Each structure stands twice: as structure tokens, then as C-alpha cells.
Amino acid sequence: MSGFAKPLKIALGLAVIAGLIVIPMNFNRYGLFILSQWAVMTIAAMGLNLTLGYAGQVSLAQGAFVGIGAYAAAIMTTHGWPLPAAIVVAIILSFAVGWVLGYPALRVQHHYLAFVTLAFSTLAFLVFRNESWLTGGIYGISNIPRPHFFGIATNKPLPFYYVCLGSLAIVSLAVWWLIRSPWGRAFMALRENPLRAQSLGIDTRRYTLMAFAIGSALGGIAGALYAPLTQYIDPVPFNLSLSLDLLMMVIVGGAGFFLGPFLGAMIAVLLPEWLRFTEGYYLMLYAVAVILLLIWSPTGILGILDRAMAARRTKAASALRAVAKSRLETVQ
Amino acid sequence: MSNLFDLLVAGLATGAIYALVAVGFTLLWQTSQTINFAQGEFVMLPAFLMLAAMHAGAPFWLAIILGILLSMILLGLAFKMLLVDPMMRHGVLPLAIATMALAIGIKEAVKQFFSAEASPFPSIVPTGDISILGHIVSLQSIGVLALAILAVFGLTALLSRTSLGHQMQAAAQNPTVARIIGVPVERMILLTFLINAFLVALASLLITPIYLAKFSSGEVLGQAAFIAAIVGGFNQVRGAIAGGLLIGVLDNLAASYVSTQYRAAVPLIFLILVILFRPQGLLGRAEERTV
């Protein structure tokens, strides 16, 4: 995105943020629900983007962490705890489990790692379904309360949408800061060439585990918001397909781009809704759209933009070179 | 003990079907680095093609032939030319994601154009029981096992005894050198896709009478085949066969000796242990890593 002038970029960003705050004010209940879902899924996809896009560790378990966060929040808030406390517990829990799940990544890479995390994802689903003393089993947990903030109840869809949007803003700022910190650079070094990273003195072991743990913690936050959003959870939404969906969001949006998860979640959550007028065909069309997009640009939507910018820059550079050359020739 | 014997036979029968699917899975990986996340849906679809042929009035034998041919065209030829070929050069991950999307597409298409309900499917093997060594065994299990073993042996014979098989192996192991010595690598890769399509169609024919034809049945099957392929050895055909049989037996034993709730967990935990302590699989060779 560096082709834009900086003030223009800031103005565009502010316009989008203002739009996200103002436009939904006259949305109906369902529209607000979908938009809140987009915000929640973006948080989860951002976590996976850290693990996969920046640190290069394939994970098919992000859906399980959303589940862990959702169950933590559901169980605690139905027992009278406030949501912020539940979010903290969700973060700690998924951070710890994510850290442990990172250990296989120290031994195996790529597709093997994908399969270990896939197995973990299915195991987590079995625990959600079978440990009914804790999770309510297949009947799930209902009547999950929505929080009060500063004395304002967020029971209505609009206030809760602002809770989701606010959380998304906080998480985005934190991730923005993280990928620009030395840690973010270490993650990228890990992705590009782990051996060279190690030879430069980066503790690849610690950063691999960190990439998993932080990415998973964001999944936990998303889950802790998902539970009060739907106000009812059962194991089904947290099966393997959620992990696969989140992975698709990251790749389709553009893995390793900061804005990738926002676009990817938009396509995965909103595109099926827009295609709903096609009735039974909408998921088929969605699948075809994803395949076509990946054939066209395997680096996702932002990959297209990135290449276009790069092409424009090369063009500009070669134009400058041509000018410089002709000047040299006239001097001679 | 009779219980254990029955479990073993049933386990080997489902395991043999897993092996068919897992072999196809490893073939695609070896020749084109395709991790096919739609492999389970590939097994689900041919049964519906056959059912559609029967609804159009074809007798069962003709429906089987049509179903297998159509699968080879759709899941072999079209899959390779329309999806794998344009994406292969982009690396493993985008292609794997595209097959995930394909899995959604196939599932939804079957749900939309056929039915969301489970449909019964005729068995190619006569039902009934026979007695072996004083044990009552279902004829279906024996028939499935026999057919699957026949297919697997046929495939291994093709790969290890014929010139065509040697060319395929060469194309898989080192495409560059294979090309230099005159192996038509592209054609060999296409052939593995056709073989995979044939194997999944056969697996579909064998397993659908047991579990019914349903649009969502591919999820479980695909996962079982993944696990079988990895446990046995991702880069070995015989590894995938052993892995398939092992997972089938393990699954059946777990169902009766561990709780039914956690039966699915046993193969998964086994998978994690294998990947952590023997990532090349029980029978696989270690893959070389490049820096």
C-alpha cells in the first residue's frame, strides 16, 4: 500500500472507521449480527495471520482456540463473572494451550505440522462434545449474558456491535505494534529462513512457540466475544471446518499482509450473505469464487494489489532511468 | 475371543477401503505435491454419480461403469487440468486451500442437485453371513476386503512390475532426471490422477453400502485417509496400505474397548505420536530437507 501518499492513506483509514461506526446505526438486527460476526472472525483470522502469515507456521487449529475462548466466556459469564474477566481467562488459557501446541512445530514443519494441528482441532471438538459436565455436551450452553460497560447494557445488537468493533480496534492496534516491533521482525525472519534467523542469534525455538501462543490467544479473544454475540454455544460451530474457514480467510485476504484478515473475513462472512439471493447455490458460488481467486492470485486479494503497486513502481523507476539516461546523452 | 476376531475382520475391511483412499492420496502427493483436502468428497461423489445413473434407468452394472468413467473424467482429468495445473507452480499451501474450497463446492453441489438426506446404496457383494473357522463373518466384510486387496495388489504390481509403473515412479521421484531419460512426465502425472479417481470410485462403491450415500460422509472418510497416509508414510504406497489397515483395525477396536465417545480420538492421538516421533511414517523414508 506504500504507493499511496501518507495523508491520503490516513484519510482513507479514518473514512472506513467512521463508516463502520456510523453506517450500521440504521441496520436491522440481522445485519448487525453479521457485521459483529465479521469483527469477531477478523480477530481470529488476525491471530492465524500472525502464526501463518508472519511466522510461517501452518496451523489448522485456530477454530479450536475460538472454541476454547467461547467456552471459557460462556461458562464464566453464566456463573456471574464479568466478561472482561472471562476474556482475560480466555487469553491465558488459549495462550497456554497454543504454547504447548507449538512444541510439535519445533520438530516438524509444513504439511506435517498442518496434520498435527488438524488432529488437535478434532480432539478439542471431541472434548467440547463429550465433557458435558463442563460444556453442556451436545445441548451446549444457553442464555449467555451480554456485558454491561460503564453502566450501559449491551443487550441490544447495536451496542454489542460497538463492543465487537472496539475490541477489533484494540486488537488491531496491538497487532500493528507487534509486527513493527523486533518480535514481528523475528517472526518474519523465522518464516523466510529459519536457519539464517538462528545464525543471526534469534532464538527460533522461543519465537516459534510465541507465534503459536500469541496467535492462539487472539483466537481465544475472538471466541470470548463470539459466545455473548450468539448467546448460545454448542460444539458444532467449533469443528474442523471453522479452522479450515479461518485458514481460507487468511490466504484469500492475503497471508502476511496486515489488512489481509479484514478482507478475508469480509469475503468469508459477508460474501455468502450477499449471495443468499441465489438460495441453495450460494456456498457453491463462494467455493468457485475462492478457487478462481486463488488460481488468479495465490497470494490473495492483497497480493494482486501488491503486485500492481510493484509494477507501477518499476514503471516509474524505469521512466526515471530513461529520463536520466537521455540527459546523460544530451550532456555528451 | 470371538468378539475380537469379528472386530479384526470388520476393521480390516474398513481399513482396506481407507487404504485405497490413502494410496490415491499419497500418489497425488508424490507426483504433484497436491495435498488433496477434498479426497473424502472424492469418495462421496462417485456413489451419487452411480445413483444418478440408476435413477436415469441404467442397470446397476452399467451405473457402476458410468460412475467410474465419470469420476475419472471429473475427479481425474478435470481436477488436474482446471485446478491443479494452474496452481501447481504456486506451491503447496494455496493449492491445499483451493482443494478445501473444492470440498465445500462438491458437498454443496451434491446437497443441492441430489439430496440432503442419506440415500441407501445397493451392495456389490451379496449380503449374508458365512462361517470361517467356526466364526460367523459377514459376507460383505469378506467381499470388501477381497476386492480392496485385489485392487491394491493390482496397483502395486502395476507400479513395480511394468515399464509404465517404473516410469511413473521415476516421474514421482525425480521429474528432472526422468524427463532427461525420456519419461513423458506430464502424461505420468495425469495417469496418477486417473488412478486416484479410479481408486476413490472403487472405494465409494465398496463403502457406500455400509455407511449410506450422504453429502457429508466425505469428512470422516477423508480424515481417516489422511491419518492412514501419514501414519503409514506419506511417500510410500505400501506405507499407505499398512496405515489404512492399521487405522481401520484401531478404529474398530477403539469403538468397543475405549468409550464410544472417544473412539475417534484414538487414531488422532496415534497420528500425533507418529508425527512427533517418526515423522516419515511407520514405513516411510525420511524426506530430505533443503535449506
| Chain B interface includes A78 (CB < 8 A) | no
Does pLDDT of A329 surpass 80? no
Contact of B220 with chain A, judged by CB distance below 8 Å, is answered with no
Query: Mean pLDDT, to the nearest integer, of A203-231?
Result: 93
Q: What is the mean pLDDT of the segment spanning A230-257?
A: 91
The percent of residues in chain B predicted with pLDDT above 90, rounded, is 32
Q: What pLDDT, on the 0 to 100 scale, is given for residue A3?
A: 52
Q: Answer yes or no: is pLDDT of A1 > 50.
A: no
pLDDT single digits (tens) A133-179? 988 888 989 889 888 777 777 888 888 999 999 999 999 999 999 99
**Among B219, B230, B261, whose Cβ lies nearest the Cβ of A130?**
B261
Closest CA to B54 of B40, B64, B45: B64
Beta carbons of A53 and A257 less than 8 angstroms apart? yes
Cβ within 8 Å of residue A7, ≥6 positions away: none
- Give the per-residue pLDDT at B1: 45
Grid coordinates representing A123 are 480432539
Q: Which residue of B has its CA nearest to A295?
A: B87
Reading the block at residue A38, the C-alpha cell is 465479521
What ipTM goes with this model?
A: 0.84
**pLDDT tier at B291 (50, 70, 90 boundaries)?**
very low
Contacts of A167 (CB under 8 A, 6+ apart): A39, A43, A221, A225
Give the tens place of pLDDT for each residue, B10-19: 889 889 999 9
- What is the average pLDDT score of chain B? 86
Quote the radius of gyration of chain B (alpha carbons, Å).
Answer: 19
Neighbours of B128 (CB within 10 A): 8
pLDDT digits (tens, 9 = 90+) for B61-72: 999 999 999 999
Cell numbers placing B97: 486451500
Q: How far is residue B270 from each of residues A265, B50, B249, B275, B282, measured CA to CA in Å?
A: 34, 35, 13, 9, 11
* Rounded (10°) CA dihedral A228, A231, A235, A236: -110
Predicted local confidence at residue B65, as pLDDT: 94
Count of pairs with CB atoms under 8 A, one residue in A, one in B:
108
Report the run of H or E that residue B105 belongs to, with start and end.
Answer: helix B92-113
Residue B100 has pLDDT above 60, yes or no: yes
Residue B246 distance to chain A (closest CA, Å) = 17
Question: In this model, does residue B285 exceed pLDDT 80?
Answer: no
Whether A70 and A224 have beta carbons less than 8 Å apart is answered as: yes
H or E segment and range at residue B118: none
Calculate the alpha carbon distances from A304 to A119, A296, B114 in Å: 33, 9, 37
| Per-residue model confidence as pLDDT tens digits over A44-100 | 999 999 999 898 888 899 999 999 999 999 999 999 899 999 999 999 999 999 999
A118 vs B: CB within 8 A = yes
How far apart CA A148 and CA A159 sit, in angstroms, is: 10
Of B232, B217, B259, B203, the residue nearest B14 (C-alpha): B203
Question: Which chain B residue is nearest to residue A249, measuring alpha carbons?
Answer: B97
By the CB < 8 Å criterion, does B90 face chain A?
Answer: yes
Residues 93-152 of B with CB under 8 A from A: 93-94, 96-98, 100-102, 104-105, 108-109, 111-112
The confidence score (pLDDT) of residue B288 equals 47
Angle at A126 between CA A221 and CA B99, to 5 degrees: 75
Q: How far is A158 from chain B (nearest CA, A)?
A: 32
Are B234 and A287 inside 8 Å of each other by CB? Answer: no
pLDDT tens-place string over residues A101-144: 988 888 777 777 888 898 999 999 999 999 889 888 889 898 89
What pLDDT shows up at residue A4?
58
Average pLDDT value over all residues in chain A: 88
C-alpha cell at B237: 504406497
Cα dihedral angle (A290, A291, A296, A301), rounded to 10 degrees? 20
- pLDDT value of residue B290: 37
The one-letter code for the residue type at B9 is: V
pLDDT for res B286: 63
Write out pLDDT tens, residues A18-33.
888 888 888 888 889 9
